């Protein structure tokens, strides 16, 4: 895992961007499931107004990050080695953050399942 995180080749960064996108998508689905249970609320004040409208929330979380990742993917092709290295740190941080968020979602979903049954 450490080798993967340290690797800042273009192909490695592209894989990381795909992972971030997939984690972002699972985040909105987990969030909507937890909120619809009635036991949880959205802690992110930016997305909070949108989670009351699931279709709009899903659409936003699919399109906006997807567009940003496509732009980043296009721009990163022209990056220097130094820029790739710095970008890799930010991308790794984002990926780890989404992994932690998704792990919390899974833990809360598991606890909710046992609480309700």
Q: What would the pLDDT profile of 57-108 be if each residue is shown by its tens digit?
A: 999 999 999 999 999 988 998 999 999 999 999 999 999 999 999 999 999 9
On average, the pLDDT of the chain sits at 92
pLDDT at 73: 87
| 3 neighbors 79 (Cβ within 8 angstroms) | no
3 state DSSP class of 41: coil
Domain range enclosing 74: 2-116
Segment 20-48 mean pLDDT = 92
Question: What is the total count of domains within the chain?
Answer: 1
Residues 6+ away with beta carbon under 8 Å from 116: 37
């Amino acid at each position: 895992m450490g080798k993967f995180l340290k690797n800042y080749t273009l192909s490695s960064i592209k894989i990381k961007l795909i992972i971030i996108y997939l984690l972002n998508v699972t985040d909105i689905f987990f969030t909507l499931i937890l909120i619809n249970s009635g036991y949880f609320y959205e802690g992110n004040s930016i997305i909070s107004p949108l989670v009351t409208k699931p279709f709009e929330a899903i659409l936003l979380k699919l399109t906006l990050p997807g567009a940003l990742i496509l732009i980043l993917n296009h721009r990163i092709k022209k990056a220097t080695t130094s820029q790739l290295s710095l970008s890799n740190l930010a991308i790794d941080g984002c990926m780890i953050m989404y992994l932690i968020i998704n792990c919390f979602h899974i833990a809360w979903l598991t606890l909710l399942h046992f609480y309700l049954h």
